[in-house]
């Protein structure tokens, strides 16, 4: 019997709710339609206005992708082989790092959010002046450098995919060309910093070998030129023994430089073969391109959200109005609201 009573009470409650919605159906429909019309109108106006004056401008997000190799150059293959074979202890004794820490990717993420890079981007593209022109009525911040860093961090994003080893940089702005230039500048900055820090040992050694090869080759040319000059002066001088000794000394030094050049050149060619078989620590896969499609805002989704919010608000308002109407028709409830005790009678003296 109790279950039947509860079921009937639930059905009556649902009918009451449906009755309230039906009674206020005109208001609900009007508010929902007005919300949809306002959302569509605002979206169209924001799309027609230029980006400088639009309150909801199109935003573009170009992306650049780089390949970050977290294994150290020259030891990555050996360390991975020892790790998979269970000989990690021997690898540690041999001085090979077998840890799986993402050092290079961690360094890239740190550099992209470092103050040095943020300040370099702000100064290179004049973001302080650009933001001031975009909001001329806005009061200048007390700490423009710190504020510019915070604002740049919100629109400059970086991420690293552990599975593929791809490091991505994104920058969002209303100007697609400007956004592309900022991303590529960050890519060049990271590439330069990786080279300066010497993260890729093979690349550093290759650069040093190239400098040594060039210096040694110049020294060989200088010694050969000096030797030829002495040979030309033999016929015109009487101090032949001194010249002969000098030529012998030059010949020995020239032979030594040639041997050094040969060894450095051999080492350089072997290093090129090694680098060709190994993955570099930092490699640019794709530089940022000028995007031809906006990344936001989603005006269609905004219209749907505003319309649904208007519908929920109208339903809530309908129940509030029905509750107020019910209270007004209830004398006891009105008496409670007015501070009087229901059913109380005045006593006569």
Whether 182 maps to a domain, the answer reads yes
| 135 and 214 housed in the same domain | no
- Kindly give, in sequence order, each residue whose CB lies less than 8 Å from that of residue 43, ignoring residues fewer than 6 positions away: 56, 299, 302, 303
| 269 and 222 housed in the same domain | yes
Supply the pLDDT for residue 97: 44
Supply the pLDDT for residue 38: 93
Please say whether the beta carbons of 58 and 293 come within 8 A. no
**Strand bridging mode 156-161 / 166-171:** antiparallel
Please say whether the beta carbons of 89 and 140 come within 8 A. no
| 95 and 143 housed in the same domain | yes
Whether 143 maps to a domain, the answer reads yes
Please say whether the beta carbons of 299 and 56 come within 8 A. yes
- Token pair, residue 6, equals 């509860």
Of 112, 103, 95, 93, the C-alpha closest to 72 is: 103
> What does the pLDDT look like over 58-91, one tens digit per residue?
899 999 999 987 765 444 443 444 344 444 444 3
Whether 6 maps to a domain, the answer reads no
Whether 150 maps to a domain, the answer reads yes
| 226 and 130 housed in the same domain | no
| 192 and 88 housed in the same domain | yes
Supply the pLDDT for residue 95: 40
DSSP string, 200-242: SHHHHHHHHHHHHHHHHHHHHHHHHHHHHHHHHHSTT-S-HHH
Whether 8 maps to a domain, the answer reads no
- Token pair, residue 347, equals 């006593």
| 170 and 260 housed in the same domain | no
Whether 112 maps to a domain, the answer reads yes
How many domains are contained in the chain?
Answer: 3
Angle between helices 103-112 and 176-197 (to 10 degrees): 130
Domain enclosing residue 210, as ranges? 202-277
| 231 and 146 housed in the same domain | no
Q: What is the DSSP letter of 71?
A: S
Whether 314 maps to a domain, the answer reads yes
- Token pair, residue 41, equals 């109108």
| 112 and 178 housed in the same domain | yes
| 98 and 180 housed in the same domain | yes
> What does the pLDDT look like over 304-332, one tens digit per residue?
999 999 999 999 999 888 888 887 777 77
DSSP string, 159-207: EEETTTTEEEEEE-BS-HHHHHHHHHHHHHHHHHHHHHHT-SHHHHHHH
- Kindly give, in sequence order, each residue whose CB lies less than 8 Å from that of residue 331, ignoring residues fewer than 6 positions away: 342
Reading the chain (349 residues) residue by residue, the pLDDT tens digits are 445 445 544 444 778 788 888 888 899 999 999 999 999 998 888 888 887 778 788 899 999 999 987 765 444 443 444 344 444 444 344 343 444 444 788 888 888 989 999 999 999 998 888 877 766 666 767 788 888 888 899 999 999 988 888 999 999 999 999 999 999 999 999 988 887 776 667 777 788 888 899 999 999 888 888 888 877 776 555 566 777 778 888 888 888 988 998 988 888 888 777 766 667 778 889 999 999 898 888 888 999 999 999 999 999 999 888 888 887 777 776 777 676 655 555 454 4
Distance, CA of 153 to CA of 122 (rounded, Å): 11
Residue with tokens 């293959």: 77
| 85 and 157 housed in the same domain | yes
Supply the pLDDT for residue 1: 46
| 135 and 234 housed in the same domain | no
Supply the pLDDT for residue 268: 85
| 35 and 122 housed in the same domain | no
- Token pair, residue 95, equals 């001085």
Whether 213 maps to a domain, the answer reads yes
């Amino acid at each position: 019997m109790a279950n039947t009573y509860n079921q009937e009470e639930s059905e009556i409650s649902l009918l009451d709710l449906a009755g309230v919605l039906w009674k206020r159906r005109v208001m609900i429909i009007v508010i929902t339609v007005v919300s949809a019309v306002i959302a569509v109108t605002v979206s169209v106006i924001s799309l027609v206005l230029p980006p400088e004056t639009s309150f909801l401008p199109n935003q573009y997000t170009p992306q650049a992708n780089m390949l970050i190799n977290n294994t150290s150059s020259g030891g990555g293959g050996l360390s991975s082989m020892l790790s998979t074979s269970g000989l990690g202890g021997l690898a540690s004794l041999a001085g090979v790092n077998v840890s799986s820490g993402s050092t290079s990717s961690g360094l890239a993420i740190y550099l992209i959010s470092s103050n040095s890079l943020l300040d370099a981007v702000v100064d290179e593209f004049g973001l302080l002046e650009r933001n001031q022109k975009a909001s001329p009525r806005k009061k200048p911040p007390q700490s423009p450098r710190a504020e510019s860093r915070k604002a740049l961090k919100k629109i400059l994003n970086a991420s690293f995919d552990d599975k593929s080893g791809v490091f991505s940089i994104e920058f969002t702005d209303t100007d697609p060309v400007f956004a592309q230039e900022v991303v590529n500048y960050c890519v060049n900055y990271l590439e330069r910093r990786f080279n300066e820090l010497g993260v890729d040992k093979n690349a550093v050694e290759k650069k040093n070998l190239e400098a040594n090869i060039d210096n040694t080759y110049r020294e060989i040319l200088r010694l050969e030129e000096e030797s030829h000059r002495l040979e030309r002066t033999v016929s015109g001088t009487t101090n032949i023994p001194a010249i002969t000794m000098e030529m012998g000394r030059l010949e020995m030094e020239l032979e030594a430089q040639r041997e050094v050049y040969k060894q450095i050149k051999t080492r350089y060619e072997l290093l090129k073969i090694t680098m060709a078989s190994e993955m570099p620590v930092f490699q640019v896969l794709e530089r940022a391109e000028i995007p031809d499609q906006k990344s936001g805002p989603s005006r269609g989704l905004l219209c749907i959200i505003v319309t649904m919010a208007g519908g929920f608000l109208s339903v809530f308002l309908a129940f509030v109005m029905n509750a107020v109407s019910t209270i007004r028709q209830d004398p006891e409830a009105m008496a409670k609201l007015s501070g009087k005790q229901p059913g109380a009678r005045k006593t006569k003296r």
